[in-house]
Chains A and B, each alone.
Chain A
Amino acid sequence: MTYIHNIQPVHLDALQEAGNIGAGNAATALSQLLHKKIDLHVPSVRMVDFQEMQAIAGGEEEVVAASFLRVTGEAPGSMFFILQKEEAEELAYTLTGRKVDIIDDSLDELAASALRELGNILAGAYLSALADFTGLSMQPSVPSLAVDMAGAIISAGLLEISIKGDHAIVIDTVMEEAAENSTDAVNGQFFLLPDPEAFDKIFKSLGVE
Chain B
Amino acid sequence: MADWKTAEAPERLRTSGLGSCVGVVLYEEGLSIAAMAHIMLPDSSMAAGRSLQRAKFADTALEDVLACLKEKGCSLRRLQAKLAGGAQMFSFSEGSDMSRIGPRNSEAVKAVLKENGIPVKAEDTGGSKGRTIEFSIMDSSLYIRTVNEGKTII
Contact B16 A144 (CB under 8 A): no
**A interface, over-half SS:** mixed
Kindly state the separation between the CA atoms of A163 and B48 in the bound complex, as whole angstroms.
Answer: 6
Contact A144 B92 (CB under 8 A): yes
**B interface, over-half SS:** loop
Interface residue B95 (Cβ < 8 Å from any Cβ of A): yes
Query: With A61-B132, A148-B89 in contact, do A159 and B147 touch (Cβ < 8 Å)?
Result: no
Interface residue B56 (Cβ < 8 Å from any Cβ of A): yes
Among B5-13, B17-25, B60-68, B112-120, which stretch is in contact with chain A?
Answer: B17-25
Residues of chain A with a CB closer than 8 A to B48's CB: 163-164
- Our count of residue pairs bridging A and B at CB distance below 8 angstroms stands at 114
Closest A residue to B91 using CB positions: A144
Q: Say which residue of B47, B50, B130 sits within 8 Å of A152 (CB atoms).
A: B130
Give residues of chain B (113-150) contacting chain A, Cβ–Cβ below 8 Å: 128-132, 147-149
Residues of chain B with a CB closer than 8 A to A54's CB: 1, 17
B residues contacting A by CB (< 8 A) are 1-2, 16-21, 40-41, 46-51, 53, 56, 87, 89-92, 94-96, 98, 101, 128-132, 147-149
A residues contacting B by CB (< 8 A) are 1, 50-51, 54, 60-61, 63, 68-72, 76, 103, 105, 141-142, 144, 146-156, 158-160, 162-166
